[in-house]
A and B are shown apart, each in its own frame.
Chain A
């Protein structure tokens, strides 16, 4: 065993070529995925540190560790980093790039050069965002939403940051385009649409949102730049513009994009659960179609971010109703996931536990969204810490938890080594507890009426803020422990087999780590769809022969 896997490492994409240029100019989807992984991890650590400092500031009323001006810059940069540099690219750019071609049974994405270009755009955009910290009149203090007229008038470096977001948007558009073409053109022979793995379905739904919605925010950000630079009156009433128009244009993109953030995560859960339960997924078509339904309905709900903005009463009612419709396909997914565990033969693994933790967090994220969808209640909790906690439950407890879970699921495939499972359970437990303490306290204090983006607060909010801050310490320790475990194991972990979790989708039918061209021989495709475990014995036999 050990011998065959040592050769697997030698023959893998890791060793095909050496040197920095073989990475930053690579056309291999796997290497590009890893380039994204390293960059995103670095930015995640920066964003996490900023979040940690914000919580520390809020441990007591009054000034604690920073001034209000600094705090405002910190939450702005935390938001920009986490949204544009971490969560939007996270799963599609890392696991989508790495796994999609393999899961479809092909050797790369359809447009490898465009793929490399997307990564370069990402790096250029990220560099511009970082540049705002050191260059010009100080980093932006607008919040990641850049609401006009504040963003038009503030003397901080908003213009460059907006342009950075514009460039990052193109990176996202091109990745989406690439995936759409790949899924249409490069599926393995016999892999029909409804025999694709569900992760591919979720990336397909995601890619359409990236392609169709991102240009709107791109042009909107350019409009703010034009207004700041040339004084063209678009959003600032002092120049004859309309601030609410900005909010419409911003949320027409920024609401659908939350589905860019969550749909791929839902896709990965639909991969991990069948493997862990060793049975087919419950309700394949329901899950696949619900992804498309969420992507479609997600276009028509942006107004729920603006229930108190003075938009017309009728519009508010329609947006509330459509918002509730999104809950239905989301609920269908959750029910099908839970049902997938029924009569399975479950092997407890860190990736399964990350997935079930995700389902728990995501249920809270979704159910707290029902409260926000109700018009009269939203008027009360809108723009409070409640909303902040709600979207952290979906984006952090949701997407980032799945990102971590996917890391634990595909780690042996990508790095050819296994991590320390005991340490991974401990880090998961700490992360889960820390996460829930941090954001549950925030949820409650927001319900009590503490507005968001508050540097200081009234004495009655002290206890819950302190609980939340202590929770953030546990959370950070858990995450650092996990990262330590993974980084260490990538070099020193036990050698992993080709199929450590006994999966049957195509990535488990090739060596760990994969060779440059992914497939040395034709993969086994079941007629009964992607999660047919009756082919497992055959898959594992073939793996041994490799």
Chain B
């Protein structure tokens, strides 16, 4: 709490802390009173009950006090919220698009990335779009989220106040890989950001790498050996893997062109043991045969 990561996080945390404080007071207080009454007025200690039909003073008291408290709570929430809906005009405008199940961010100069890079202490406004169903762009550390609704142009804005990397999650259920629709925001000092922003996108030796990046492959397959949803790409060429055939029979193979092509075209038929079926869509018609070759060329290089 009170990490001050974004320009909203302290307001939200303050409102949260105040409401939790008031709530705990009533929860603990009323629970203790209830337990005390149950002990004090047990029929053994208090054989004769006293009928009390009510007390107008008390009724007024416990109508007025909660009213005042909830109006205060409303105000705290409203106050923090007003800021969230008032974006400065000079904010950097980035177009954020959600699709099943990846994010993309398009910068004013046309650069497109799958992770968000923003400068420290500068206002950033995200214009939110969806290509298919409703997604919700959620950055927990910044305390913000807003739905990406197809056919609508929602927006959100923020100022990142601390360098670092923070998760971007999807908060609106969007299908099988909803929980894997993850990216991150990198907050860089202004000069680093400028350098990154103006850098010519390095022409990679491997056009396959760009294809993998722009099709959200990397959110499930790491290139550093980390186990994600699918097998890591690191050292994949020639690796011995046990695969499960359609009839459930297990078989050891070496991963080479034949299996990689199969995995691109029919990814759910022969899956590497310990990984789930149904997590990957077919790329049969997404990539041309030439592009598939390019991807395999890149995978070969990851030793």
Name A's B-contacting residues (CB within 8 A).
63, 67-69, 72, 141, 143, 147, 149-150, 153-154, 237-238, 241-244, 277-280, 282-286, 308-310, 313, 316-317, 320-321, 324-325, 327-328, 331-332, 334-336, 338-339, 341-348, 352, 356, 359-360, 363-364, 367-368, 370-371, 373-380, 382-384, 447-449, 451-458, 532-534
Contact = CB atoms under 8 A, between A and B. Distances in A.
A373 B74 CA distance: 7
B47 A150 contact: no
A348 B42 contact: yes
A374 B78 CA distance: 7
Contacts of B46: 343-346
B15 interface: yes
* Size bracket, chain B contacts: 35 or more
B155 to A, nearest CB: 9
B173 to A, nearest CB: 4
B41 A343 contact: yes
Contact of B67 (A308, A309, A320, A328): A328
B62 A332 contact: yes
A363 B26 contact: yes
B263 to A, nearest CB: 18
Contacts of B53: 280, 282-284
B23 A370 contact: yes
A147 B173 contact: yes
Contacts of A327: 66, 70
Interface of B: 8, 11-12, 15-16, 19-20, 22-23, 26-27, 30-31, 33-34, 37-38, 41-43, 46-55, 58-59, 62-63, 66-67, 70-71, 73-74, 76-81, 83-85, 132-134, 136, 138, 140-141, 143-147, 149-152, 154, 167, 169-180, 182, 229, 276-279
- In the complex, which of the residues B15, B136, B146, B171 has the most CB atoms of chain A within 10 Å of its own CB atom? B171
Nearest to A529: B53
Nearest to B140: A449
Q: Which 3 pairs, one residue from A and one from B, show the smallest C-beta to C-beta distance?
A: A449-B140, A237-B151, A374-B77
A320 B134 CA distance: 23
Given A68-B176, A310-B146, A348-B42, A277 B49 contact: yes
A331 B27 contact: no
A453 B12 CA distance: 24
Contacts of A324: 70-71, 73-74
B278 A338 contact: no
Given A243-B150, A345-B49, A370-B19, A282 B138 contact: no
A334 B47 CA distance: 25
Contacts of B149: 243-244, 309-310
A368 B48 CA distance: 38
A321 B79 CA distance: 13
A356 B52 contact: no
A373 B170 contact: no
A310 to B, nearest CB: 4
A345 B47 contact: yes
Contacts of A448: 140
B147 A72 contact: no
A492 to B, nearest CB: 29
Given A68-B276, A377-B12, A449-B138, A359 B150 contact: no
Contacts of A282: 52-55
6 contacts: A278-B43, A284-B53, A336-B54, A376-B83, A380-B145, A383-B172
A320 B37 CA distance: 35
Nearest to B174: A150
Contacts of A380: 12, 16, 140, 143-145
Given A284-B54, A367-B26, A150 B167 contact: no
A309 B134 CA distance: 9
Given A149-B134, A359-B34, A379 B144 contact: yes
Contacts of A284: 53-54
B74 to A, nearest CB: 5
B65 to A, nearest CB: 9
A451 B169 contact: yes
Given A243-B151, A344-B41, A374-B19, A283 B179 contact: no
Nearest to A347: B43
Contacts of A147: 133-134, 172-173
B280 to A, nearest CB: 11
A309 B147 contact: yes
A377 B16 contact: yes
A308 B147 contact: yes
Contacts of B34: 338, 341, 356, 359-360
Nearest to A237: B151
A428 to B, nearest CB: 14
Nearest to A384: B171
A371 B171 contact: no
B214 to A, nearest CB: 23
Contacts of A342: 37, 41, 52
B276 A67 contact: yes
Contacts of B182: 458
A100 B81 CA distance: 46
A310 B150 contact: no
A455 B41 contact: no
Contacts of B59: 283, 286, 332, 336
Contacts of B169: 449, 451
Contacts of B54: 282-286, 336
Contacts of B42: 345-346, 348
- In the complex, which of the residues A284, A308, A338, A454 has the most CB atoms of chain B within 10 Å of its own CB atom? A308
Contact of A379 (B62, B67, B143): B143
A345 B41 contact: yes
B27 A310 contact: no
B179 A310 contact: no
Contact of A373 (B26, B73, B173, B278): B73
Contacts of A456: 179-180, 229
Given A346-B42, A371-B16, A382 B145 contact: yes
A382 to B, nearest CB: 7
B150 A356 contact: no
Nearest to A246: B134
Nearest to A456: B179
Contacts of B67: 328
B35 to A, nearest CB: 8
Given A374-B74, A376-B80, A243 B134 contact: yes
A510 to B, nearest CB: 24
A374 B76 contact: yes
